[in-house]
Structure 1
């Protein structure tokens, strides 16, 4: 079966400094896959490469078997990959409803039209309501996105990702800065929206990682140190030394 996402000998250098050093990774369709590693390991750079914000220095990225290496971010998005960022990326002055509706319109084939009344688009209205229900923000539909709580804004950003019918979701530290209660709600949301989708996430909270991930890849100094099930990664002596800060037995 063709992997949902496949990286082959992926490399990225900035001048003489090589940040990503030959990463090869295959993520099957429907898998929840976590990328962990210490600060400076190259995790965000890896996401920038996959989502098109950086061009690879070498190597290949395939999405559903199609090469996307070096494509512009919006073209990659239209091919079914959506990405969230460490810093929430929403329209703060628009309402929650308007944020999600903007994301649904393009996915449903609507383009800018001066004479079309957007309020009469019943299918876009229905899809917007469905997404807000899925992310538990329907009762906040009228609120400006900028005044939502941090956890609600992260939920809204996830809603924007799925509004475009993305089959592969890249989430960059989705629970960073949250309380335990907020984290539990967002983890439940991620588990729900990633059903029948492929998830690749960066996360520092090991509780979240071991709760959500089917497989974990450990990135250290731009290289994959290990890629396996959570249980085997946790027991790997090299991972314990390099990342978990434990003394290998």
Structure 2
């Protein structure tokens, strides 16, 4: 389903992008059910442009499902999803990506047999509008090599450019995936548990990398590492049983009694006594 007068690619009938207005991401009354199971239950969420926003919650709260809805992998049962003012409800993932949103997944999603360079170059080629071609090579395409080198430098993998991606350490594979996500020049980045499986030192390195590459972009992140969340996010939303029970600054979320009881595991009242 696409907005009235719009194609599923996010372009107007004349082939031009409409002007974007409003927040970077806006969810209004979003629900998602799988048969009788209601996973997302009336979520309202607004993420201003340029904000780093984290979604936290216990296992099974619906965090990944919410990401799938925003990025187009699932269509909501009801409700509206907007990206920079455009109604993208029900759009396909490729169309949403072309409209300016990129995401990573819980499980690393790279081409393990291709080199680090080739992985990033594939993303750059797509972002620059170069599709498959049997009649010309990619080496001479203007700007591709330069853009690939720039991204590898930003994610600090320039020295591993010729290495097969599957041979990288886990933390470097996650960095590569972030590089692939930003190759499209997307203004909105979704990262699903980017620190999963990392050591403390690897998480610190990845946090700094995310802070650097998302400067000037909007970041929406699902993460279980509370040190990362409270150190990186401008605001935090807490999702419990498919509902957002609180959205606020990290300091206020930490002090919120409902959050303490539902997620952070802090006893209150008589239980504390």
TM-score range, shorter chain: over 0.9
Superposed counterparts of 1:135-174, under 5 Å: 135-174=155-194
Q: Which runs of 5+ in 1 are unaligned?
A: none
The 2-side partners of 1:16 and 1:105 are apart by 42
SS of 1:22 mapped into structure 2:
strand
Does the residue aligned with 1:119 lie in a helix, a strand or coil? coil
Aligned to 1:231: 251
Aligned residue in 1 for 2:238: 218
**Structure 2 residue matching 1:143: 3-state secondary structure:** coil
Looking at structure 2, the residues matched to 66 and 81 of structure 1 have their Cα atoms a distance apart, in angstroms, of: 12
Stretches of structure 2 that go unaligned for 5 or more consecutive residues are 1-20
Q: How far apart are the structure 2 equivalents of 1:152 and 1:143?
A: 11
What is the alpha-carbon distance in structure 2 between the residues aligned to residue 196 and residue 84 of structure 1? 18
- 1:115 shift after superposition: 1.9
Q: What residue is the counterpart of 2:13 in the other structure?
A: none
8 A Cα contact 1:8 1:61, kept in partner: yes
Q: Deviations over 1:117-171 (max 9, x none)?
A: 2111241000000000000000000000000000000000000000011110000
User: How far apart, in 2, do the equivalents of 1:106 and 1:163 lie?
Assistant: 9
Considering only aligned residues, what root-mean-square deviation do their CA atoms show, in Å? 0.8
Aligned to 1:88: 108
Q: Please state which structure has a larger fraction of its residues in helix.
A: 1
The Cα shift of 1:108 comes to: 1.1
Is the Cα contact below 8 Å between 1:218 and 1:224 reproduced in 2?
A: yes
1:204 CA drift (Å): 0.4
User: Whole-Å Cα distance in 2 between the matches of residues 207 and 248 of structure 1?
Assistant: 22
Give how far 1:111 is off.
2.1
Cα deviation digits, residues 77-131 of structure 1 (max 9, x gap): 1101011000000000000000000000121122222222211124100000000
Match of 2:10 in 1: none
1:105-116 aligned within 5 A: 105-116=125-136
Q: Counterparts of 2:251 and 2:263 in 1: how far apart (Å)?
A: 15
